[in-house]
Amino acid sequence: MRITLGNIDKSIAGPTSPTALDQLITTQGDNKFTCHDVQAGEHIGPITLGSIGFQHSYGIRQTQKGGGAGSVTFGFCDAKGNAIGTQGKDQDGMCQVTKAQEGSTPLFWQAKFLKAGSYTFQGGAG
C-alpha cells in the first residue's frame, strides 16, 4: 500500500507505516489521504490520534475511490481495536467520536480493507 496526502492531483507522499492519525490528516494535505493499491486483508492501525484535536466531535469519511460495497470498515477504537463511537463502512457513513468518548479512554483509529482498491478518506472536527 502506498499513501498520499491531499487531493489526488497534489501527490504529496505520505508515511509508509503511519503511527498516528495526524500524519495522515494534515492541513497541508487538505485533511485528506488516499491509500493506493490496497490488497484485501490489509489494514491501518490501531494508530494514535497524535495531535488531532477537536471541541465536540471528530469524524472521518471515505470520500472517493474505494472497492465498492462491503470493501472497508473504519473507526475510532481503543489500543486493542475495540470500537469506540460510530464506525464507518464504505462511503455509506462516517466514523465519529465525541469529546466525551475521547475523555474516557485513549483513542486510536483503524481501517480494515476487505477488498482491493484505492481509498480516499477525509477528516474534520465538529
pLDDT tens track for 10-26: 889 999 999 999 999 99
pLDDT at 122: 95
Cell reading at 25: 490528516
The whole domain housing 112 covers 2-125
Give, in order, the Cα–Cα distances in Å from 7 to each of 36, 45, 54, 81, 114: 13, 22, 23, 28, 23
What are the phi and psi torsion angles at 23 (to 5°)?
Answer: -80, -20
Whether the pTM exceeds 0.85: the reply is yes
pLDDT at 105: 79
- Kindly report, residue by residue over 47-92, the tens digit of the pLDDT: 999 998 888 999 999 987 777 788 999 999 999 999 999 999 998 8
Length reported for the chain: 126
Q: How many domains does the chain have?
A: 1
For 31, residues 6+ apart whose C-beta sits below 8 A from its C-beta are: 25, 122, 123, 124
